[in-house]
Copies of this chain bind each other. A is one copy, B any other.
Amino acid sequence: MRMLSEANGSIAGAGALLKILRDGQARTRAELVQLTGLARSTLGQRLDALLSQQWIVPTEEAISSGGRPAVAFTFNRGARIALAADLGATHARVAITDLGTEVLAERADEVPVDRGPVETLTWLQHTFEEMLAETGHTRDQICGIGIGLPGPVEHSSGRPVNPPIMPGWDGFPVPEWLGERFGAPVLVDNDVNIMALGEHWAARPEADHLIFVKIGTGIGCGIISDRHLHRGAQGAAGDIGHIQVASATDIVCRCGNLGCLEAVASGAAMSARLSAAGVEAADSRDVVRLVRSGNTQAVQLIRQAGREIGDVLASIVNFFNPSVIVVGGDIAEAGEQILAGLREVIYSRSLPLATQHLTITASELSDRAGVIGAAVMVIEHVLAPGTVDRSVTRD
């Protein structure tokens, strides 16, 4: 048993304590004794250890009930920082967060990922460095770096696997490249996976089984099963964009197959269809703009897309029985229009037992879900190893 607790590393035996304090609530010694079952003296020793490492801090306010007021301790979210990046096909979002996933600095830029890993990561390195200077943080405060990439990633090695829209990235050792430059552990994952992680952790921690559906240029989803990210055998889980839908078996998808969901209901498919109909729309954002401005064709199209996606999700609800479905991505910005279509189909097609407590909602974190998820991935890896990922990448 000893080895298990010592595997925690620097935090040593105090890991269990930290776990309790990390929920953000201030706890007094008396409460902690109650919660852990430790002796007062032992608890004192452990608190000292955590205090000296700055992992926790005493709060200002003293709660008195007639005698000497008790000192309450809280988790020190500012003890370390996490570097997080959500790299999309054309735009990237980079952030520095504290250990409570609070965003301390943030940037969103147009960065084409198709120029290859070295150029993109060099830009990322410089952006991180600039932001660190901005916020006045040093390198030794970094507890880790989390990266989301728009394609399949082998999480254990942090390398992209045959990514369709990232030429030159196949097998590129992202963790090694960045790890050398910052001297911190680097974790990489698929963008939908980290979005699911972010939404689950920051907005819906009570949901045990969550599906995050990203509707943007393409369509994909991140899966949380029993509070763990489900990545699948090849890390390819959640690739629902190429599931065949019944209604349109004549449309050719970019993958070569017929009637893929993505070829019908994605942002790219919708903008293409609007353009063909004479309405100008270059990408997902234009579609959303048109919907918001009340364009009839766009509204009809997005409602129909919602029903198509709902068709696929209805099957998934029966199979997976999630407690929450969160919808995010560019197209989700159109709001209720797409959710209405989704709900309509899911509630009529799926089993009552599976739908009676099912929540279908738009992402609360919106376009920040990715970076926050990347931060969560890193923080959990450092503070509670094994919760999110079971294999270490780099140290």
Interface set of A (CB-CB < 8 Å, partner B): 1, 3-5, 13, 16, 36-38, 152, 161-162, 207-209, 221, 223, 225-226, 228, 230-240, 242-244, 246, 255, 257, 312, 314-316, 318-323, 349, 351, 353-354, 356-358, 390
Contacts and interface: CB of A to CB of B under 8 A. Distances in A.
Contact of A351 (B242, B318, B322): B242
A316 B231 CA distance: 14
A344 to B, nearest CB: 14
Contact of A319 (B5, B243, B356): B243
Contact of A16 (B4, B240, B314): B4
Given A240-B315, A242-B318, 11 more contacts: A225-B225, A226-B228, A232-B320, A232-B322, A233-B321, A234-B321, A243-B318, A243-B319, A244-B314, A312-B315, A316-B319
Contact of A1 (B1, B257, B351, B353): B1
Nearest to A1: B5
Contacts of A161: 353
Contacts of A236: 321, 351, 353-354
Contacts of A235: 321
Contacts of A349: 244, 257
B319 A238 contact: yes
Contacts of A323: 233
A315 B243 contact: yes
Number of copies of this chain that the complex holds: 2
A281 B183 CA distance: 69
Given A320-B237, A321-B237, A3 B230 contact: no
A156 to B, nearest CB: 12
Contacts of A4: 1, 16
A239 B354 contact: yes
B243 A356 contact: no
Contacts of A246: 246
A152 B226 contact: no
18 contacts: A1-B4, A4-B16, A152-B353, A208-B233, A209-B232, A223-B319, A225-B228, A225-B230, A233-B357, A234-B321, A234-B356, A236-B354, A238-B321, A239-B351, A239-B353, A312-B315, A315-B316, A320-B320
A239 B1 CA distance: 40
A237 B356 contact: no
Contacts of A237: 209, 319-321
Given A1-B1, A319-B240, A319-B316, A226 B233 contact: no
A321 B354 contact: no
A16 B223 CA distance: 30
Contact of A315 (B226, B244, B322, B390): B244
A297 to B, nearest CB: 27
Given A233-B357, A353-B236, A13 B36 contact: no
A184 to B, nearest CB: 26
A347 B257 CA distance: 12
A227 to B, nearest CB: 10
Contacts of A255: 351
B351 A230 contact: no
Contacts of A354: 232-234, 236, 239
A240 B152 contact: no
Among A4, A231, A232, A255, chain B packs the most CB atoms within 10 A around the CB of A232
A246 to B, nearest CB: 4
Contacts of A390: 226
Contacts of A318: 239-240, 242-243
Contacts of A13: 1
Nearest to A211: B319
A356 to B, nearest CB: 7
Among A3, A208, A236, A314, chain B packs the most CB atoms within 10 A around the CB of A236
